[in-house]
Amino acid sequence: MKTKSKISGQLRKKSNPELVKTITTAKKKEKWSVVAGILSGPKRNMMNLNLSEINNLVKEDESIVVPGKVLSQGEINKKGKLIAFGFSRRAKEKLKEAGIDFDTIINEIKKNPEARGIKIINGKK
């Protein structure tokens, strides 16, 4: 796990205001600091997962955090909640069609600052 000072140092290199706000909010919460560490690193370390990959990683009725972007390739058929930094337009459409809850990381931090009941996908693909 990265230290807050390491995250702050890497944060200075980021130019996306939404990403900066998400990292800043996440690093203030102890349970979300792993997500802040992943998002503050190089862009190539940010996870971009397809729906089919997520479907293989999750269990039914599980809430998971993808520190990166959710892409639309494949299908997802397990109910639960999906939290990510971003979603492709088509992935949002497929998630709505499947009746799966989804939200951005920053909104979830506000709703659930203690990160109760969530699983963070934090490994490289």
pLDDT tens per residue, range 25-65: 999 999 999 999 999 999 888 889 999 999 998 889 999 99
Is 125 inside any structural domain? no
Pairwise CA distance, residues 84 & 103, whole Å: 7
Q: What is the mean pLDDT of residues 83-99?
A: 95
What is the CATH number for 98? 3.100.10.10
Nearest to 106 by CA among 15, 54, 36, 38: 36
Lookup: tokens for 20: 């900066």
Of the pLDDT bands very low, low, confident and very high (cuts 50, 70, 90), residue 123 is: low
* Helices assigned H by DSSP within the chain: 4-11, 17-28, 33-40, 51-57, 89-98, 105-111
Domain tally for the chain?
1
Domain interval for residue 90? 4-120
Is 28 inside any structural domain? yes
Q: pLDDT tens digits, residue range 67-79?
A: 999 999 999 988 8
Is 47 inside any structural domain? yes
